[in-house]
A and B are shown apart, each in its own frame.
Chain A
Amino acid sequence: MTGQAIRLAVDIGGTFTDLVAQDVATGQAVRAKADTTPGGLERGVLRALAQSGVPPDGITAFIHGTTVVINAVTERTGAATALVTTRGFRDVLEIGRANRPDLYNLSYRKPAPFVPRHLRFEVGERMTYRGEVVEPVSGPDLAEVAGRLAGAAVQAVAICFLHAWANPVHEQQAAAVLSARLPGVAVVTSHQVSGQWREYERTSTTVLSAYVQPVVTSYLGSLRDSLRAAGVRAPLYVMRSNGGVSSFERATSAPIALLESGPVAGVTAAARLGAMLGARHVLALDIGGTTAKAAAIRDGQVRVSTLHYIGKTPAFAGYPVQAPTVEIVEIGAGGGSLVWADAAGGLHVGPQSAGADPGPACYARGGTEPTLTDANLVAGRLDPGYFLGGAMKLDHEAALRALSALGVRLGLDARSAARGVLRYAVAQMSHALRLVTLRRGYDPRDFAFIAYGGAGPLHAALLARELGISQTIIPPGPGHFSAFGMLAGELRGEAVRTVVGPLGQADLAGGFAPAERAALAELGPCAQGATVARYAEFRYQGQEHTLEVPVSDPGATEELRRAFERRCLEAYSFRLDAPLEVVSLRVTATAPVGPAISWGSEGPGGNRPPSPSREVDFDAHGGVTEAPVIGRADLAGTGWVSGPCVIEEPAATTLVLPGQAVRRDGLGNLVIEERA
């Protein structure tokens, strides 16, 4: 690759550092993989860069997806952090909302706080919800806290005062004092990080942000230095939870926004691909080894939620983060998910996973428990000789043994058990898709369905039929789709402000102005020519839960009301005559990063699938049928091919059911449609 306009994305995973680069002019793409190097991740990046052969000075944009933040939080390897709160409220962080999601577990454990009690300090100060000062910040208190913090040897301090969303001046004063007294310590205030109300959620966000700040600063700093030393002169970007990218400098100031840096890239890519295909609504499904992740994209807009939980499950309260995050519904059913039967003969898939080691039984690495992959193998939907393009042989016998054992418990043979497992798994995955569509009042049939991830193409056709979706798209290189999402990333600034008041009385325009400034400021020098979108969250007075409505004219009260009512009917089949109340305002500013990438680069063709056809169990959709096997590359220019058939490519297998047809479009996507 010798071009002069190369976009390059690097995604660091647990085992591999993946690199994808594309020459914008020619569309030529390069992929490279290097071992992840813990303790100095930049070394892996440089190695991957060297391996790819991309000339460092030809790179025009470097985009990075990182798990540094989420790892620091889940593994608790962030900085020693202290918290400063309003007097009387240092325990808010540990009390949380006092909820007990695991209702019948009377030995429930609350989430452990990220700041122990002895590092939570109180300062005399008070603000009202209208931002009026009741009690000024106590200077002596601050001085004492500063002294104690100096002795505590913390690396980061979070400051969260009550009602800082309404008036941040006290936090600013405290931050000024503490920064001056504690050189080298990261001081993070809640109004910078969140700007939304609810003190526990904001405190949690601020604390987590402070907790990861030193880690992120040093990580991005050393990555920048080594890239510069290697001759990369391009601007450096990092992917954020909101689906956009931001410069390293900006990212450092609000590192918690990098939390879901990795997973959202696929959704961004799906949105981008949907736009290129002219699809209005897109349903994105990523089926990996342990989970299936679904997201709905309406009118080309990725759905962004302003409250996100880390680690929340039906049995654990999790840690709230008030940072705009692409909404993704995740369920514990992926290729490696274990399949099991309970004592009463009920069948379950996941959420436990066989992981990479021992992996599914058919990997022959010592796993004996059946997984979804084993079921697919037994049903003939996977070819034991062509897994990863033949690079790995699957042990059909082992899969059969594992499923036979399951079948014994259910009183069935292995093949019937496999059928049942697949049927159940598809039901479970379709549940995830329903959650992001029907539960929000959308009809899945209005969506273009884009399936990716290692196991996405295998289940896509079944899911499409289950949900009545007419068109399914399998992008080229479905296993690397997320990395392409990073390449396609655009700059995105986002600001949320809590502004509470009745619609008509609340000063929307006045609230939007600072939010807009903040959002644009996130874009830095690219703010000119940015596209700005405004949203407001409304609710009926007396209700708690809000719905977001795009705002074109903050003064058009009636229009906003009608838009809200439409959303409300859509979402809840429900409408009231109650007056409306605005709760918060959100502004997004987006700007492209250099020239757009082109789509249509296929992965390497790989060797041809070994057999021209094989016996596949289509269950209710045609039973066991001899289905032709076609290499994905061979599909070019053939027009529609009727199902049943199996499309093989090195990293994925696509199943096409009887009654469906498939073709390859101009961009290299597989398009599956119902033909009945």
Chain B
Amino acid sequence: MSTDRFTLDVLREGFAAITDEMFVSLQRTAQSPVLYEVLDFGVGIADARGELVSQGNGIAGFLGPLGDVIKATTARVHGLRAGDVIIANDPYSGGGTHLSDVALVRPIFWEQDLIGFAAAKGHWTEVGGKDPGSWTADSTDIYAEGLQLPFVHAYREGVAVPEVRAILAANSRLPEMTLGDLSAQAACLEVAERRLHELCAKFGAGTVVQAMGVILDRSERLARLALTKIPHGTFTASDFTDEDGLGNGPFPVQVQVHISVTGVTCDFTGSHRQVPGPINCTWSGLVSGVRTVFKAITDPAAPATDGWFRPLKIICPAGTIFNARRPAPVAAYFESTEMASDLVWHALAAAFPERLTAGTFVSVCSTSLALTHPDTGEQTLLVEPQPGGWGANAVKDGEHGLVSVGDGETYVIPVEVAEQRYGIRVERFGFDIVEGAGAGRRRGGRGLVREYRILCDEALLTVAWGRHRFPPWGTAGGRDGSCNYVEVLSADGRSAQRFGKVSRLPLRRGDLVRLVTGSGGGYGDPRERETELILDDLRNEIITRREAAETYGIRAISRLPIHASSASCRSAALTVSVVSAPRRRCARRASSRSVASATGRNACARWVRNTSAARPSWGSGRRSTRPSRSSRRTIVVIVCLLSRARLAISPIRRPSSSYSGTRIDPYEGRTSGKPAAAKRSASSSFQRWLALASKKPRLSRVSGDGRRMAPVLAVSATGRPAPGGRPLIPPLSLSGHREQLTRGAAKWRRMLSNSRSSDWYCDSNSSSGIPGALNIVKEYALLSSPSAITRVGNRASWSSAGPAYMSMTPLAASASIEKQNSPRPLTTFALPCSYLSSWANSVAQCGRFSIFER
């Protein structure tokens, strides 16, 4: 008996393998692009009561309906036999979402006994209804949305029911595709049955059934355990759903979330009653939305069984926007499902600063274009979701261009494939930069812009986008993101329309459809963002100069061109930024407020003001800005030198868990004559300090070949080392002192940690002989993205793809950088301000650098 428990583990593995196989089988055989490209489907196997034991989902949105549809099948269909397949898409009873999501359920018998079910639910491109593609943005009741399939037999004992096929074909604009999806979905259930039978043959049906029960119970136990480890309390959020597709709205929605050891309750009471347009969702849609966030805060990685969700209770009165009653239109239900996720998420964001982020663009941004392929003359229908910006949180910047929370392993259609298949031209697919949107200590991710040029004579556009008027929310003092919108520019370029929802908008040859998704919300006060991250964003044109100045408080004080044109300066890889903020100036700036979102270029700026009043600031209360930061005398020097990146790369390969153990000089071995600037700045006090820090003077250390070791940042105008090694940028530091300082690490760290709250060490008169203010200088290999760690498989690796840079930051800031988002420094050392300023002057004389102040 003792080993039986392992049979259960083996069976758990087996069930997961079955859903894996079902998933791949459906993906590969499906006819609807929405199934095989967007993976808008879910598959699962359940026990005889309809409780899901294992599921494979392409998107998060099927977390609710799959189990419900099986339970409803058992309740509504009697006399099920082996080989039967039930088809259902009724939104108002178990497991229904909208009519396009068609579920198939197959009971699985073993020797006359029902042992479980296999189910698959997927988005079919065509199920009839008033509009091509079957989902609409302006239906007024369910009857306009397509064919309803109320739990009827699609297969009887393994044989397709011809009447049902005939009805499906007759009601579909693309009958072959619809019947193809039916066959593909039914085939994947057959796979499940075959595999379950194999398990029964091997382990016995009793064991298989028992294993299902144990898996569900274990799953529940793990979820309850997770509940003991998360913050408890009552959290609320309210927001607005902007429009229903018929011009009504906005509609207030709200949630109260109660978390305790015994469970999580989400109460949507008080949300708006069901609305005339098709953005209502029904029970299963609501459940999906809430379960997604529940899973995120408990354990995103554990298998999603129905047992996991037993501690979750959802309350929502019938007849509301989140729990609509027949015959409310539901074609664009996913907008309310996403809003349900977002509401719960918003309520909990402050309590889960690492697992949840600030607000995202919260909309599937579903887009449908009915076209005629100009080359083949065929009717085509492009249906796709659009990715957008995600919010930032305490541990990371937001992601640019990611599919929405209700989607998941959802792929955007490649431009090349879209052009070949739909006969359309994509003119742009890239980040959309909205000044000030999503600003924060951690910045929200950017939304995307995708432009379609219509090449056929006539086309129809339907979109149902949420978050068109109310931008994604920021948290902990971060700014709100920006709104989603669609813009149509007529061929002659004269008229432009902008909207979030539209139905069957006629388009002509040459018209341009511009699909723009929003930026995610920011986290924390933008003024606290680390300088190197801001400059990095600037260089990558993720933020504009104006945004840097007005929102982040980092301003170019003079612009020194790198090349002839200032355009090339902006994205040139060679940037030396000298940031200096004299005390008096900063104090003055701190008193004057500048609001970034009022730049005018942010399409949603006016809504920023409107909604911040409308929304209770759950967890997003602005943190008071400490004036001390701006009154710091800070000199930050960032040297971004691509050519040095190569040199910085090899040291980073060596394993090192802390910088104190890394005594690697990226410039080691590069010798050159010591320029006059460095000599001048090597003040006697600095030498004294160095001598103290390392116990013996090292400045005169001589390298093996008899020349002085002088790490030199030598770069020519083309970025390559100048001929003859003549440095264009004088050396930043003095020979050998990095090693000394790391050796004296304990000493200077103690010294710096004693420097009270002040972030620079000023003790020129002390007996230690340490000169003026010191800055911590760190050398980094720069990341190519905000995330410091790249995960490849099971290993995390530090990126060093970009240029190396050095930063000199005050101690306080440096501590936070290390904790948060920065790459690991290659070396860390300290330099006096006097030295730095003379160095900066000589750099500036090279005439090719931007100097920023903060």
- In the complex, are the beta carbons of A80 and B300 less than 8 A apart? no
- In the complex, are the beta carbons of B30 and A543 less than 8 A apart? yes
- In the complex, are the beta carbons of A153 and B176 less than 8 A apart? no
Q: Is the CB of A562 closer than 8 A to any CB of chain B? A: no
- In the complex, are the beta carbons of B2 and A116 less than 8 A apart? no
Q: Is the CB of A300 closer than 8 A to any CB of chain B? A: no
Q: Is the CB of A13 closer than 8 A to any CB of chain B? A: no
- In the complex, are the beta carbons of A76 and B800 less than 8 A apart? yes
What is the chain B residue whose CB lies nearest that of A197? Answer: B416
CB contacts (< 8 Å) of A423 on chain B: these are: 3, 6-7, 10
What is the chain B residue whose CB lies nearest that of A427? Answer: B10
**What's the nearest-Cβ distance from chain B to residue A157, in Å?**
13
Stretch in A168-176, A308-316, A587-595 touching the partner: A308-316
Q: Is the CB of B646 closer than 8 A to any CB of chain A? A: yes
With A89-B430, A103-B59, A345-B5 as given contacts, are A118 and B541 in contact (CB-CB < 8 Å)?
yes
- In the complex, are the beta carbons of B649 and A77 less than 8 A apart? yes
B window 374-431: CB within 8 A of A: 375, 387, 390, 393, 395-396, 399-403, 405, 407-412, 414-417, 419-420, 425-431
- In the complex, are the beta carbons of A113 and B13 less than 8 A apart? no
A427 CA / B399 CA spacing, docked (Å): 38
- In the complex, are the beta carbons of B402 and A148 less than 8 A apart? no
| Interface size, chain B (Cβ < 8 Å) | 127
With A104-B295, A128-B419, A439-B21 as given contacts, are A95 and B412 in contact (CB-CB < 8 Å)?
yes
- In the complex, are the beta carbons of A153 and B573 less than 8 A apart? yes
Q: Is the CB of A601 closer than 8 A to any CB of chain B? A: no
Q: Is the CB of A621 closer than 8 A to any CB of chain B? A: no
- In the complex, are the beta carbons of A148 and B399 less than 8 A apart? no
With A95-B387, A427-B10 as given contacts, are A107 and B354 in contact (CB-CB < 8 Å)?
yes
- In the complex, are the beta carbons of B642 and A152 less than 8 A apart? yes
Q: Is the CB of A578 closer than 8 A to any CB of chain B? A: yes
CB contacts (< 8 Å) of B573 on chain A: these are: 118-119, 151-154
**What's the nearest-Cβ distance from chain B to residue A327, in Å?**
14
Stretch in B218-226, B274-282, B723-731 touching the partner: B218-226
A134 CA / B429 CA spacing, docked (Å): 18
A527 CA / B792 CA spacing, docked (Å): 37
- In the complex, are the beta carbons of A91 and B430 less than 8 A apart? yes
**What's the nearest-Cβ distance from chain B to residue A7, in Å?**
32
- In the complex, are the beta carbons of A118 and B3 less than 8 A apart? no
**What's the nearest-Cβ distance from chain B to residue A267, in Å?**
19
**What's the nearest-Cβ distance from chain A to residue B217, in Å?**
8
**What's the nearest-Cβ distance from chain B to residue A495, in Å?**
19
- In the complex, are the beta carbons of A544 and B36 less than 8 A apart? yes
- In the complex, are the beta carbons of A112 and B355 less than 8 A apart? no
Q: Is the CB of B650 closer than 8 A to any CB of chain A? A: yes
Q: Name the contact of A74 in the complex, choosing from B225, B400, B792 (C-beta under 8 A).
A: B792
**What's the nearest-Cβ distance from chain B to residue A213, in Å?**
14
B window 1-54: CB within 8 A of A: 2-3, 5-7, 9-10, 12-14, 17, 20-21, 24-25, 27-31, 33, 36-37
- In the complex, are the beta carbons of B12 and A115 less than 8 A apart? no
A95 CA / B785 CA spacing, docked (Å): 12
- In the complex, are the beta carbons of B415 and A151 less than 8 A apart? no
- In the complex, are the beta carbons of A428 and B790 less than 8 A apart? no
Q: Is the CB of B292 closer than 8 A to any CB of chain A? A: yes
What is the chain B residue whose CB lies nearest that of A424? Answer: B9
CB contacts (< 8 Å) of B717 on chain A: these are: 151
What is the chain B residue whose CB lies nearest that of A201? Answer: B414
Chain B CB count within 10 A is highest, among A75, A151, A319, for A151
Q: Is the CB of B735 closer than 8 A to any CB of chain A? A: no
Q: Is the CB of A671 closer than 8 A to any CB of chain B? A: no
Stretch in A273-281, A475-483, A569-577 touching the partner: A569-577
Q: Is the CB of A162 closer than 8 A to any CB of chain B? A: yes
**What's the nearest-Cβ distance from chain B to residue A43, in Å?**
16
CB contacts (< 8 Å) of A104 on chain B: these are: 60, 292, 295-296, 300-301, 304
What is the chain B residue whose CB lies nearest that of A568? Answer: B29
CB contacts (< 8 Å) of B293 on chain A: these are: 106
**What's the nearest-Cβ distance from chain B to residue A320, in Å?**
11
A211 CA / B801 CA spacing, docked (Å): 9
A343 CA / B292 CA spacing, docked (Å): 22
A500 CA / B408 CA spacing, docked (Å): 29
**What's the nearest-Cβ distance from chain B to residue A538, in Å?**
13
With A76-B798, A95-B448, A200-B414 as given contacts, are A343 and B225 in contact (CB-CB < 8 Å)?
yes
A575 CA / B757 CA spacing, docked (Å): 73
Q: Is the CB of A675 closer than 8 A to any CB of chain B? A: no
With A104-B304, A106-B296, A107-B395 as given contacts, are A114 and B572 in contact (CB-CB < 8 Å)?
no
What is the chain B residue whose CB lies nearest that of A182? Answer: B718
A101 CA / B59 CA spacing, docked (Å): 9
Chain B CB count within 10 A is highest, among A81, A100, A106, A427, for A106
A91 CA / B399 CA spacing, docked (Å): 13
- In the complex, are the beta carbons of B718 and A153 less than 8 A apart? yes
- In the complex, are the beta carbons of B645 and A542 less than 8 A apart? no
With A108-B399, A197-B417, A332-B794 as given contacts, are A117 and B542 in contact (CB-CB < 8 Å)?
yes
- In the complex, are the beta carbons of A424 and B13 less than 8 A apart? yes
CB contacts (< 8 Å) of B720 on chain A: these are: 153
| Interface size, chain A (Cβ < 8 Å) | 108
A544 CA / B417 CA spacing, docked (Å): 10
CB contacts (< 8 Å) of A151 on chain B: these are: 562-563, 568, 572-574, 717-719
CB contacts (< 8 Å) of A250 on chain B: these are: none
CB contacts (< 8 Å) of B12 on chain A: these are: 346
A window 96-110: CB within 8 A of B: 96-110
What is the chain A residue whose CB lies nearest that of B788? Answer: A112
CB contacts (< 8 Å) of B798 on chain A: these are: 76
A76 CA / B782 CA spacing, docked (Å): 11
1/0 contact string of A347-365 vs chain B (CB within 8 Å): 1000110000000000000
Q: Is the CB of B164 closer than 8 A to any CB of chain A? A: no
A17 CA / B641 CA spacing, docked (Å): 35
A33 CA / B356 CA spacing, docked (Å): 50
A76 CA / B539 CA spacing, docked (Å): 21
CB contacts (< 8 Å) of A346 on chain B: these are: 9, 12, 218
- In the complex, are the beta carbons of A342 and B649 less than 8 A apart? no
Q: Is the CB of A198 closer than 8 A to any CB of chain B? A: yes
A130 CA / B421 CA spacing, docked (Å): 12
Q: Name the contact of B6 in the complex, choosing from A105, A199, A424 (C-beta under 8 A).
A: A424
Q: Is the CB of B703 closer than 8 A to any CB of chain A? A: no
- In the complex, are the beta carbons of B401 and A91 less than 8 A apart? yes
CB contacts (< 8 Å) of B292 on chain A: these are: 103-104, 106
- In the complex, are the beta carbons of B9 and A106 less than 8 A apart? no
- In the complex, are the beta carbons of A424 and B10 less than 8 A apart? yes
- In the complex, are the beta carbons of A152 and B17 less than 8 A apart? no
Q: Is the CB of A163 closer than 8 A to any CB of chain B? A: yes
CB contacts (< 8 Å) of A155 on chain B: these are: 646
A633 CA / B304 CA spacing, docked (Å): 51
- In the complex, are the beta carbons of A78 and B801 less than 8 A apart? yes
A81 CA / B128 CA spacing, docked (Å): 50
CB contacts (< 8 Å) of A543 on chain B: these are: 29-31, 36
CB contacts (< 8 Å) of B428 on chain A: these are: 88-89
Q: Is the CB of A229 closer than 8 A to any CB of chain B? A: no
- In the complex, are the beta carbons of B222 and A343 less than 8 A apart? yes
CB contacts (< 8 Å) of A431 on chain B: these are: 13, 17
What is the chain A residue whose CB lies nearest that of B176? Answer: A578
Q: Is the CB of B799 closer than 8 A to any CB of chain A? A: yes
1/0 contact string of B529-551 vs chain A (CB within 8 Å): 00000000001111000000000
Q: Is the CB of B793 closer than 8 A to any CB of chain A? A: yes
- In the complex, are the beta carbons of A163 and B36 less than 8 A apart? no
Give 5 CB contacts A-B under 8 Å.
A98-B448, A113-B784, A199-B415, A200-B414, A423-B10
Binding site for B on A (CB under 8 A): 38-39, 73-81, 88-92, 94-119, 128-130, 134, 144, 147-148, 150-155, 162-163, 165, 197-201, 211, 310-311, 313, 315-316, 318-319, 332, 342-347, 351-352, 410, 412, 416, 419-420, 423-424, 427-428, 431, 434-435, 438-439, 500, 540, 542-545, 571-574, 576, 578, 619-620
- Further 8 A-B residue pairs, CB within 8 A, beyond A94-B401, A118-B540: A94-B400, A104-B292, A107-B356, A115-B784, A342-B222, A439-B20, A572-B28, A574-B187
